[in-house]
């Protein structure tokens, strides 16, 4: 069953014991951020809990944070079993993405219960947290930003860090290659670009917004496909856009092309501060919100964080979906481990011939937009679990001859948020980096350059019976002395 809204998702999290109700008063300056980080680090990527801060100092609005920050809750958000294996998820993703469902435009929705225009517009009435110590100000970290692409007419949704400057101005940092920016690229300086910012909605919208889908994809249709039912949308009050009818808070506004304000710094998902600079901003024309609205946010910083989950699973699935038909059957699984902040990936390959791992590897490191991030790609055989770092490092240590298995791919497009990006590349805006690809697969035919011996294992006939033998060891053994006397 799809979720109607943020509230029905929170209800499910309560039922599953996945959310902590914080009942004591907290400060949205730094305190929420610190508690969120503690929760993420305590539970790790799979077991951390979401948080519902009910009492915020100086505000009436509660804050729901870190809702989609574990793989369990990501799968719950898509109504899938919490233990769905990631390679199986890639197949489910492909099916749902291939069947988008158009939204249904309705006349009214709960997001219109309160409509604020003119002098009533004041975004600082909501408890927007300051998450990390040196953040430039309060940040809306989970805005579902909806725009209409002026070239394709499709609705675009994306998540971009959004700094609250004052009661009616919000700065946004969207990378230049984001579809949000491309959608407005035909405009000239001084032209207005309508922007609707949704805070708090059905999680499938956030999942669609964060996904690296091809340019021109309508992400509201995709959200429909992910949830298996159309998203109900209502028209905005002041701009020609539609937003999900059950959104908690909707901020309607316009960006003026060419106008910039000082934004940042901001603690990013890499674990380092992202730079401050001149950035576009939206001037707010109206705010609409539900009665007893809930503000939704997420902590950003060193993994694991919301980014680890929201971005990675969709990137893994999308790289596989987009892979050429010649290679696709041989990519068993792609793992983008959360601790690698999108810069590390491991691919397990069903290798048929020598050289194939690198061929598939080159296709993976050319798959955009994921490839902008990917800096290290490790290729392993299908007997290695790409999600198990110990197995992966064993393969790298024992199956790579770096004379032939280490590939440096220099001067290719990288990402400005990579903390190690050379300054000259940042200043020139060329943003090139060097990738490495490590082929840690065994040769198919005998290779004197890599004469990997047979792996050692106990005798096969005995190993085939190991489960029985082990059960005996664990159930029939009794405490005794060193000579076997009871």
Ligand X SMILES: Cc1cc2nc3c(=O)[nH]c(=O)nc-3n(C[C@H](O)[C@H](O)[C@H](O)COP(=O)(O)O)c2cc1C
Site of tokens 């990288």: 414
Distance in angstroms (rounded) separating the CA atoms of residues 76 and 19: 13
Decide: is 297 part of the binding site for ligand X (CB under 6 A). no
264: left (phi over 0), alpha (psi -120 to 50) or beta: left
Which residue among 78, 298, 331, 371 contacts ligand X (CB under 6 A)?
A: 298
Q: Which stretch binds ligand X (CB under 6 A): 25-33, 47-55, 303-311, 439-447?
A: 303-311
Decide: is 45 part of the binding site for ligand X (CB under 6 A). no
Which DSSP string do the residues of 428-444 spell out, in sequence order? HT--EEEEEEEEEPPPS
Distance in angstroms (rounded) separating the CA atoms of residues 3 and 9: 6
Residue nearest to ligand X (CB): 158
Decide: is 344 part of the binding site for ligand X (CB under 6 A). no
Stated as kind and residue range, the H or E segment containing 13 is helix 6-15
Distance in angstroms (rounded) separating the CA atoms of residues 24 and 19: 15
Q: Which of residues 206-235 bind ligand X (CB under 6 A)?
A: 210-212
Q: Which stretch binds ligand X (CB under 6 A): 132-140, 177-185, 348-356, 388-396?
A: 177-185
Whole-number minimum distance, CB 333 to ligand X, in Å? 22
Whole-number minimum distance, CB 10 to ligand X, in Å? 18
Query: Closest Cα to residue 175, out of 435, 434, 426, 433?
Result: 426
Contacts with 74 (C-beta within 8 Å, 6 or more apart), sequence order: 68, 207, 309, 310, 313
CA dihedral 422, 428, 430, 435 (to 10 degrees): -10
Three-state helix/strand/coil letters over 26-44: ECCECHHHHHHHHHHHHHH
Residue number with CB closer to ligand X (275 or 391): 275
Residue number with CB closer to ligand X (242 or 439): 242
Q: Which of residues 133-162 bind ligand X (CB under 6 A)?
A: 141-142, 156, 158-161
Q: How many residues bind ligand X (CB under 6 A)?
A: 21
Decide: is 175 part of the binding site for ligand X (CB under 6 A). yes
Which residue among 28, 45, 174, 222 contacts ligand X (CB under 6 A)?
A: 174
Which residue among 180, 273, 295, 330 contacts ligand X (CB under 6 A)?
A: 180
Decide: is 198 part of the binding site for ligand X (CB under 6 A). no
Decide: is 48 part of the binding site for ligand X (CB under 6 A). no
Residues engaged in binding ligand X (CB under 6 A)? 141-142, 156, 158-161, 173-175, 178-180, 210-212, 298, 306-307, 310-311
């Amino acid at each position: 069953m799809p979720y109607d809204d943020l509230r029905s998702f929170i209800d499910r999290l309560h039922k599953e014991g996945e959310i902590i109700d914080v009942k004591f008063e907290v400060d949205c300056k730094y305190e929420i951020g610190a508690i969120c980080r503690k929760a993420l680090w305590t539970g790790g990527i799979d077991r951390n809990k979401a948080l519902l801060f009910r009492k915020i100092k100086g505000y009436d609005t509660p804050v729901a944070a870190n809702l989609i920050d574990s793989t369990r809750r990501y799968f719950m958000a898509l109504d899938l079993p919490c233990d769905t294996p990631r390679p199986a998820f890639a197949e489910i993703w492909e099916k749902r993405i291939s069947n988008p469902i158009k939204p249904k435009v309705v006349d009214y929705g709960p997001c219109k219960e309160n409509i604020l225009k003119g002098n009533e517009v004041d975004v600082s009435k909501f408890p927007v947290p300051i998450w990390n110590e040196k953040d430039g100000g309060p940040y809306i970290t989970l805005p579902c930003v909806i725009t209409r692409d002026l070239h394709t007419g499709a609705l675009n949704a994306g998540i971009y860090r959004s700094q609250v400057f004052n009661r009616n101005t919000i700065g946004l940092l969207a990378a230049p290659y984001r579809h949000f920016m491309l959608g407005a690229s035909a405009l000239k300086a001084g032209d207005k670009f309508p922007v609707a910012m949704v805070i708090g909605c059905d999680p499938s919208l956030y999942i669609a917004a964060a996904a690296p889908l091809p340019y021109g994809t309508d992400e509201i249709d995709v959200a429909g496909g992910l949830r298996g039912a159309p998203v109900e949308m209502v028209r905005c009050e002041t701009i020609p856009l539609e937003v999900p009818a059950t959104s908690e808070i909707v901020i309607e506004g316009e960006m003026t092309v060419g106008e910039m304000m000082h934004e940042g710094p901001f603690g990013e998902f890499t674990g380092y501060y992202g730079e401050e600079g001149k950035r576009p901003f939206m001037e707010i024309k109206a705010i609409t919100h539900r009665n007893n609205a809930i503000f939704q946010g997420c902590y950003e910083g060193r993994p694991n964080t919301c980014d680890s989950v929201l971005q990675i699973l969709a990137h893994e699935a999308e790289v596989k979906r987009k892979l050429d038909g010649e290679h696709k059957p041989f990519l068993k699984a792609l793992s983008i481990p959360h601790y690698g902040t999108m810069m590390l990936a491991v691919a397990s390959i069903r290798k048929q011939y020598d050289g194939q791992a690198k061929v598939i590897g080159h296709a993976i490191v050319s798959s955009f937009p994921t490839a902008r991030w990917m800096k290290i790609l490790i290729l392993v055989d299908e007997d290695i679990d790409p999600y198990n770092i110990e197995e992966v490092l064993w393969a790298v240590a024992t199956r790579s001859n770096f004379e032939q298995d280490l590939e440096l791919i220099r001067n290719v497009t990288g990402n400005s948020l990579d903390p190690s990006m050379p300054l000259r590349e940042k200043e020139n805006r060329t943003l090139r980096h060097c990738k490495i690809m490590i082929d840690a697969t065994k040769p198919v035919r005998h290779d004197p350059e890599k004469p990997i011996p047979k792996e050692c294992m106990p005798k096969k006939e005995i190993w085939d019976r190991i489960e029985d033998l082990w059960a005996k060891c664990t159930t029939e053994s009794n405490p005794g002395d060193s000579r076997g006397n009871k």
